[in-house]
Structures are given as structure tokens and as C-alpha cells.
Amino acid sequence: MNTETLEITGMTCDACARHVERALRNVPGVHTAEVSYPQGTARVIAASVLQANALAGAVAAAGYGAIRQETARSAAPRPERSSETLRRIGGGAADGQSLRIAVVGSGGGAMAAALKAAEGGAAVTLIERGTIGGTCVNVGCVPSKILIQAAHIAHLRRESPFDAGVSAAPVAVDRPALLAQQQRRVEELRRDKYERVLAQKSTITVIQGHARFHDKHSLTVSASDGGERQVPFDRCLIATGASPAVPPIPGLADTPYWTSTDALASDHIPQRLAVIGSSVVAVELAQAYARLGSAVTILARSTLFFREDPAIGAAIEEAFGAEGLTVLTHTQATQVSYEGGEFLLVTNRGQVRADRLLVATGRTPNTGDLNLETIGITRDARGAIIVDDHLRTSAPNVFAAGDCTDRPQFVYVAAAAGTRAAINMMGGEAILDLATMPAVVFTDPQVATVGLSEADAHGRNVETDSRTVPLDVVPRALVNFETRGFIKLVAEAGSGRLLGVQVVAPHAGEIIQTAALAIRAGMTVHELADQLFPYLTMVEGLKLAAQTFTKDVRQLSCCAG
């Protein structure tokens, strides 16, 4: 029999020890595994010599770290672990030293990776050239959702489905006061969730400066004062995010146009706002500014959400039209000028004039100044770093996560990728599986999707059977007097296996995770229809949509099972 003794990091209770035991026992060849939370050790007995990386990967995949003591060749563990020479599983560092991991960036993916690597015992150097926290907390998710919620409140005070019984009131928007409130919360979250967290981790060193690759095992970091330093590493994670893309429209560069960053930081509401773009950022900010008082015109090169089920774009366009937004589909600006405080956009459908212009046509990966060519990292046509499902780049010891890669640009995807990249940098085999990745657009009504659309399924040669229910059959939507939108289920023909869900509804984002779990579990629409859902919730709409595969739900009584 052969015995391995490991030190386990990251455990906080006996339940953690049981999780590690189960993970180790599932490794092929393991006869038994005993884990002690008080001692922080694991004793693994196997019939043959085990691969250290297999044990490390199993522990890492369970969410913990493993440090290997020298292999014992008998069934009895060595009594004094302090006398053992420790070696970080995964290699790359000298014996007796921690694995050195460099993380370039400090956003969601970078932070997740740095914390996970530090938890596993690595010595982490995090390098940030700008503001700690990256896009999401500073100029993305957090401030945009605050602005959207403020606009929602303004809209409800101006009008609601209950105006007949609850009188509306004139709305006065104090944008400087809203902006101050927004920035206070941004600064609070950046301080509490990023700066303080990093300050409390003794194994994470933070360097302010611009990093670029010197060679395959070191970075050159240029500080703002002009000084430079070398940062050696055994493994490196690139998590530099992305920046607003600017299309090459003649004249645009010579005007004071807004990006999403500018729109979120503006202290005034323009009387007229033109928006170039048709996807998430464009539509969210367009509706928010319209509800705060701007006359908004959206220029969409194709249709709204042209990559999604066509019904989604049609539903949002109808909702926007009801609120007074102008949506110009199949419209492109061919010239932009600015004179006398006014923008003039020449388009294939005539001229558009506005006081402010928001350009929201996507985001470009921040990879152009990292000297990636030096270490042979491959990028796609957009400049995004190409990674595999383990977050590995084309350079053997370099990983990447977040918006700088070719994966979907969502902060929760970045964070999941960062965690898994850290596990893999320390010898694990964690995979980023995006098969059931939910996505939410925070318009009103919201848009939420997961899995395959009908077009996606057909593109994979999968025959589908789909059902769409309007919200006027969902009891909660009826009692809210908010019946704009629909719920659509896409199932595999014959088996009824749920493949995808598209929702346009108030609180669609609160519905979609249930759908994601159902797809992950391999449920059929018939199994979904048979589940218990609480009455008078929006998520009950999933059950009703599933029931439509076998019956007419309009003929059911309330909460019929």
C-alpha cells in the first residue's frame, strides 16, 4: 500500500473536511482517505503510486488547496508533519517555496483568481494600472444598475398601472444628487469588496503600474513615476478587461461623444440623446435616460438584440415605443459632426440631431499593450485572447480570464473563470462550462435567456418543439397589471428535454436561474410541468409554459397542478 499525506488549506469546519474526503475518495486508485479539520491534513491510502496532480486537482475542484508532504512508502503516516519538506503541487516553484502567481488586472476575474490562489498557498502579485476593482464596480454593473433603478423609480412616480387609484406626481430629477449617491455606493463597494479584502491578504502583493511581458516567466511593470521593476512568476493570469469600442464613423472622433463610462458619470440629463447601438449597454442606458427626462433616439444597425430570438427585439421595441423612445432599425450613421452644442448624424434614413451622443457598440479587449507577441499568445480578430475550457492560453504557463478573452463578457463569467484558472494554475483540472450560462438585460421589461434558442438548436441539427406563453396567462403578471412580454421554452423534439428558455418580463432575471438549473439537471418539460411552484410568483410562468406542451393553460383554474 502507498500513502500520501497532504496539508489542506481553505477548510473552515468539519463539513469542509468531509467535502475533501469525498473528493479524494473519487480519485481512481484511492483506497481510503481520512481528512482532519483540526490538524489540516489528509491521509490518502492507495494500492499503487498516485499522481500528485490527480490528488491536487480533486482537492482544488472541491474548492480547497493541497500541499503535499514527501511521499510515504508505508501504510503508517509520519508523525511530525513539521519535519517534512513541503512542495506545492503543480510545480514551477523551487522546493520549499510557494508557487509564484502574477495576476494582471483587479476586476472580477482577477480578484477571484488572486483570492483562490492565495487560499491555496500561492504567493500572488496583483498588478493594476488604473483603479482597483476594474469595470464592474467602478464604471459598469454597479453604477449602471443604480442609474437604471433611479430611472425606474422616476418612471413609476410619473406613471404606473395603478394610476386610477394611486395618483401620479410630477417628477423633478436632480441628476447631480443622484450621481453623488451613485458614486458613494461605488466607492463603498470598491473599498469593502476590493481594497480592504486585498489589504487583509498577506500573501497578495498589490503593485500599481502598467504590466507587459518581458519573457515567458517575468513581467516588466512601469509605474506612473517612470520607474520600472521586474515581476517574476511561475504562472500568470491575464485579466485586463475591455474598453468601450468606437466604430470608425467619419467625423465621430472629432466630437465630444459619450461612451458608457461618460454616460454613467454625467451630472446632467440632455434634452435630446442619440444612441448608436442595439445590444445590452445601448438599450439599458437609452431607457434609463429616457425615464430621467431625455428624448431618446436609438440607431440600430439591424434590429434590437439581433443575435437573439427575433421576438425579444420586437417585444422591447414595442415597450420602448410605448414609453416614447424612437427606435430606428436598419439604420447606420455615415457621418457625425458637432457644432454649436448640437450633434448632427447623417444616416441612411435621414438626419438625426441631438444634444448628446452615446456610442455603445460593444467592448474591445484590453490586450494591445501587453507585449503578448513576445510569449506567443494567440488572439482573435477582435484582439481577444483565445483560451480553452481550462482558461489556458497558447503560452503554457499563462492563463486568461474575463472580458479580455474570447468568452462572454459578463462579470460572473469572469469571476468563475478566474477561480477555475487559479485552480488550474496550481495543478487542478477545473473546467469553465458555459452550457447553462444565464444572461440578463436590465431593461423594463427585462430580458433573460439561458441555453439554446430555436435557431441555435437547428444550427446544431437538433429538432425542436417549442412553446411561447404571453404574460397574460401568468397570474402574478395579471395581478401586477404588467403583462408585457412572454416566456418561451425550447425543447428537444421527441424526448421533451429542455434545451433553452427566453423570457421577456418584469423580473425576468429572477426567473432565469430556475430555468438554468432545470437545464443543468437534464429535466424534460414534462418534469418541469410537474414541479411545485409557489402561486403568484413570476417564476410560476415556467411551469405554465411547460404545461402548454400537453394542455391549454387558459382552461386551467388558478394554481392548477
Catalytic residues: 11, 13, 16, 64, 136, 141, 558-559
Range list of β-strands (E), 283-402 = 295-299, 326-328, 333-339, 342-347, 350-354, 356-359, 363-365, 398-400
Residue owning grid cell 457625425: 336
Residue owning grid cell 421576438: 311
Within 8 A by CB and 6+ apart from 290, the residues are 151, 273, 296, 320, 323, 324, 325
Q: Tell me how far apart the alpha carbons of residues 213 and 77 are, in angstroms, rounded to a whole number.
A: 44
User: Residue 40 carries which side chain, given as an amino acid letter?
Assistant: G
Secondary structure of residue 547 in the 3-state scheme: helix
Q: Tell me how far apart the alpha carbons of residues 505 and 537 are, in angstroms, rounded to a whole number.
A: 12
DSSP 258-315: B-HHHHHH-SS--SEEEEE--SHHHHHHHHHHHHHT-EEEEE-SSSTTTTS-HHHHHH
Helix (H) or strand (E) holding 150: helix 141-158
Secondary structure of residue 398 in the 3-state scheme: strand
- Classify each residue of 437-451 as buried b or exposed e, where b means 16 or more C-beta atoms within 10 Å of its C-beta: bbbbbbbbbbbbbbb
- Cross-sheet strand order for the sheet of 41-46: 30-36, 41-46, 2-9, 65-68, 87-88
With residues binned 3-state (H G I as helix, E B as strand, rest as coil), the percentages for the chain, rounded to 5, are 35, 25, 40
Residue owning grid cell 500572488: 124
Q: Tell me how far apart the alpha carbons of residues 167 and 557 are, in angstroms, rounded to a whole number.
A: 33
Residue owning grid cell 423594463: 444
User: Residue 190 carries which side chain, given as an amino acid letter?
Assistant: R
The alpha carbon of 77 is separated from its chain's Cα centroid by a whole number of angstroms, namely 44
Count of other CB atoms within 10 angstroms of residue 92: 18
